[in-house]
Homo-oligomer: A and B are copies of this chain.
Amino acid sequence: MSRLNGPARTNRPAKLIDVARHAGVSTGTVSNVLNHPDKVKEGTSARVMRSIEHLGFVRDTNASSLANGGSHDIGLVVIDLANSIFLDAARGAQSTARAAGLNLLMAGSENDFGVQSSNVDSFIGARVAGLLLAPMQDSSAQIQRLTKRHVPVVLVNYDPGTDHACSVIVDNDAAGYIAARHLIDLGRRRIAFVSVDWDLQPVEQRRHGIRRAVAETDGAVTLEEIVADDLEVGSGNAIARQVAARDAAERPDAVVAVTDNLAVGFIEQAADLGIDVPGDIAVMGTDDNTSAARCRLTLTTVTMQGRQLGAVAMELLMDEIRHGRDEHRHQRVVLTPQLVVQQSTVR
């Protein structure tokens, strides 16, 4: 890629300082020509305008904000674009940012910690005014890099367990509890929780909530935990084959899958094997993922409050940008999820 490695001069846009040097004036004078022309002598103004023309300097929102010292761009780095919670968060963050005259730029990390790291660095390089970070694991090193550059950061959908940064999370324990409670209220007595055995914060917390709801039944309801290979549709298919191979009496009468994609995979395969959903087995997800795979039934799930997640995170970030690190107090905001009942649990 010769262009990517070519000489710096060819595609570098002219900056305010280039115009100042070319015209032989200070950057403040260039800024005045653009923002307060009345303060500048006519001859100087004309010289600056000729330099602007000559260098192809285009004044834009970004350039003019850089001229007065701050970017109007906010970065958002999310785990993956394939889970709609992050898209919803982006939408929430964007409308809040937009209302304040700020621009949101986004990057997805494709479930890869290295990609997340280079996304963070891209935004540092792009000189954003602040960053919203939805990390996949402990990201202290990246947060330190941001702090060193004085870029405020708010964590989204991840509890850092420290007060070094603001964070906005969804109550995943409540999500698990609400899901299991729904199935118990429907009269289901043998619940299976399908998830993975990785050390993922939301999975741990949802498992805890499900166990809590089942424990409250004093033994009237049993809980079986089934470990899938990953969180995707194919693994949901595999679990359905496993369950279908059992005697009917040994099967669960309800399945809570930790992701909607696992639930969709289970439903599609189970139906193909002659299991009636929701008649024989009621199935639900717990992450209200509109980006999940297509399903023959609409899916009962639990909302993850993505829009609020993004909107609240942006509010906290703007507070930190506005007041600076010394006057701003970090906060931890917890949002409550909601049940969405559809065809996969109630006919």
Q: Which of B9, B82, B94 meets A81, CB within 8 Å?
A: B94
A129-B4 contact given A105-B107, A124-B60, CB 8 Å threshold: yes
CB contacts (< 8 Å) of A58 on chain B: these are 121, 124, 145, 148-149
A321: Cβ under 8 A from any B Cβ: yes
CB contacts (< 8 Å) of A126 on chain B: these are 62, 73, 105, 125-127
Interface size for chain A: under 10, 10 to 19, 20 to 34, or 35 or more residues?
Answer: 35 or more
| Min C-beta distance of A102 to chain B, whole Å | 8
A118-B60 contact given A10-B69, A11-B149, CB 8 Å threshold: yes
CB contacts (< 8 Å) of A118 on chain B: these are 60-62, 103
A73 to B65, CA, bound (A): 21
- B294 close to A63 (CB less than 8 A): no
Q: Which of B10, B60, B297 meets A298, CB within 8 Å?
A: B297
Digitize A116-137: 1 where CB-to-B-CB distance is under 8 Å, 0 elsewhere. Answer: 0011011111110100000000
- Of A84-92, A180-188, A225-233, A239-247, the one with at least 4 CB within 8 A of chain B: A84-92
- A105 close to B122 (CB less than 8 A): yes
Closest B residue to A27 by beta carbon equals: B8
A55-111: which residues lie under 8 A (CB-CB) from chain B? 56, 58, 60-63, 65-66, 68-73, 81-82, 84, 87, 90-91, 94-95, 98, 100, 103-108, 110
A1: Cβ under 8 A from any B Cβ: yes
A322: Cβ under 8 A from any B Cβ: yes
Digitize A147-163: 1 where CB-to-B-CB distance is under 8 Å, 0 elsewhere. Answer: 01111000000000000
| Min C-beta distance of A194 to chain B, whole Å | 22
A72 to B122, CA, bound (A): 9
Protomer copies: 2
Greatest chain B CB density within 10 A among A65, A122, A296, A324 is at A122
A242 to B202, CA, bound (A): 45
Digitize A1-30: 1 where CB-to-B-CB distance is under 8 Å, 0 elsewhere. Answer: 111111111111100000000000000000
- B324 close to A2 (CB less than 8 A): yes
Q: Which of B1, B81, B124 meets A87, CB within 8 Å?
A: B81
A170: Cβ under 8 A from any B Cβ: no
- A5 close to B68 (CB less than 8 A): yes
- A81 close to B91 (CB less than 8 A): yes
A290: Cβ under 8 A from any B Cβ: yes
A156 to B123, CA, bound (A): 24
- B291 close to A84 (CB less than 8 A): yes
| Min C-beta distance of A126 to chain B, whole Å | 4
A-B contact pairs, 28 of them (CB 8 A): A1-B70, A1-B322, A3-B321, A3-B324, A6-B69, A8-B66, A10-B69, A13-B124, A13-B127, A60-B145, A61-B125, A62-B121, A63-B121, A84-B290, A87-B87, A94-B110, A103-B115, A104-B107, A105-B105, A105-B119, A105-B122, A105-B123, A105-B126, A125-B126, A294-B298, A294-B340, A296-B343, A298-B298
Report the 7 A-B pairs with minimum CB-CB distance, sorted nearest first: A62-B125, A60-B121, A4-B70, A126-B126, A8-B69, A11-B150, A3-B321
- Given A4-B70, A296-B342, 12 more contacts at CB 8 Å? A3-B321, A10-B69, A11-B150, A13-B149, A58-B148, A62-B121, A81-B90, A103-B107, A105-B126, A290-B291, A291-B291, A296-B343
